[in-house]
Amino acid sequence: MEAIDLSAISIDNRVWAVFILTAFINLINTLVRSSRLAGVRTGRLATAISLFGVIFLAASFANTLQAPLLASTMEKQMNQAIEQAVLLAPDQPVTDSEVYQETLNKVNTQLRTVLCGATVGALFGLVLIPSFVSTFINIINAFNRTGSVFRLLPLFFFSFGGQARIKIVLRLTSWKTIKQLFTRSMVTPSAFLYWSALSYSIWTVNVLAGLFAAALFPEYRGVAATTAAIFGNLSIMLNVLMVDPILARVTDGVAAGTQQELELKQIIFFLALANVVGTLLSQLLFSPMAQLVLKIAIIIKDFGM
């Protein structure tokens, strides 16, 4: 069997491959919190969270493919631009050359296209919440019958070992529910939603901003790409401190019967909507964060010298 020559794959095809991976990652990230609703309805919250971890592994694997694929794509273009700039104007700074600036503009467009993939994935996640909750309830029930993830997997495709096939449910949120979600006043203060949108926007854009910062100043390429992880960790901290505890408290309240299920449904819906807003906000943060990453990278490298 012949090996696949990745270098033969066009730049545009690579970008669209990353677009699809990014959409899938954001789809899963948008659905993650709705697993709690399925857990509450089945009375098996711990099982729900654990089983979703299995699904989340797929998104994590896609994420490991996304970053190196995108990085190699950007690096290939920038190296070609540097070679052309040196040939055309050997006495001129490479980054000031016309060919390099044209490549920068192209890379900017490509990275923003990938950010659009994040928005597409988050939107699909928002729309698919009812379908996912209903299907995930069936998955939880099937797991309770089989007691094994490995016995569970074949049931997505056919009946197996005397167990019925897992029914995949496709449905949309009813107009009545939509009206309730938007007209009912949430008991929980809504400030955490703003933190969620902000943290998600930073998480969405940090790697891409790091790649663009590396393109802006090739001399600091390695430091800039790794410096972006600072902002990724910051976004995770914001989410862990400002968002997840609120969701956990409401989930426990609904499970204990002290809060209405509609409160949890509202929070899950608006958190998914915050993800969509966050991906849109990431377009605004892209250039400023790339400049900030570059400045920090320069400070770090100069300090190391």
Predicted confidence (pLDDT) per residue in 43-94, tens digit: 998 899 888 888 888 777 777 788 788 888 888 888 888 888 778 777 777 7
The pLDDT value recorded for residue 153 is 80
Residues 6 or more apart from 46 whose CB is under 8 A from it? Answer: 39
The pLDDT value recorded for residue 2 is 41
The pLDDT value recorded for residue 93 is 73
Quick one: average pLDDT of 233-244?
Answer: 93
Alpha-helix residue ranges (DSSP H) falling in the chain:
11-31, 34-42, 45-88, 98-127, 129-146, 149-152, 175-183, 191-216, 221-242, 244-256, 261-304
The answer to whether residue 8 scores a pLDDT higher than 70 is no
The pLDDT value recorded for residue 74 is 84
Q: How confident is the model at residue 3 (pLDDT cuts 50, 70, 90)?
A: very low
Q: Is residue 137 part of a domain?
A: no
CA atoms within 13 A on the CB side of 66: 25
Percent of residues, the chain, with pLDDT higher than 90: 51
Q: Is residue 134 part of a domain?
A: no
DSSP 9: S
- Domains identified in the chain, total number: 1
Lowest mean pLDDT among 59-63, 202-206, 300-304: 300-304
Name the nearest CA neighbour of 119 among 34, 204, 209, 228. 204
Q: SS3 sequence, 124-185?
A: HHHHCHHHHHHHHHHHHHHHHHHCCHHHHHHHHCCCECCECCCCCCCCCCCHHHHHHHHHCC
Q: Is residue 194 part of a domain?
A: yes
Domain around 208 = 6-127+173-304
Contact between 293 and 228 (Cβ < 8 Å): yes
Q: Is residue 35 part of a domain?
A: yes
Q: How confident is the model at residue 7 (pLDDT cuts 50, 70, 90)?
A: very low
Contact between 201 and 285 (Cβ < 8 Å): yes
CA distances from 173 to 44, 73, 107, 269 (A): 23, 39, 38, 10
Q: How confident is the model at residue 224 (pLDDT cuts 50, 70, 90)?
A: confident
Q: Is residue 142 part of a domain?
A: no
The answer to whether residue 254 scores a pLDDT higher than 50 is yes
Q: Is residue 156 part of a domain?
A: no
- Helices 261-304 and 11-31 sit at what angle, rounded to 10 degrees? 130
Quick one: average pLDDT of 201-227?
Answer: 87
Buried b (16+ CB within 10 A) or exposed e, 156-195: eeeeeeeeeebeeeeeebeeeeeeebeeeeeebeeebbeb
Q: Is residue 262 part of a domain?
A: yes
Q: How confident is the model at residue 34 (pLDDT cuts 50, 70, 90)?
A: very high
Q: Is residue 104 part of a domain?
A: yes
Quick one: average pLDDT of 226-253?
Answer: 92
The pLDDT value recorded for residue 65 is 81
DSSP 94: G
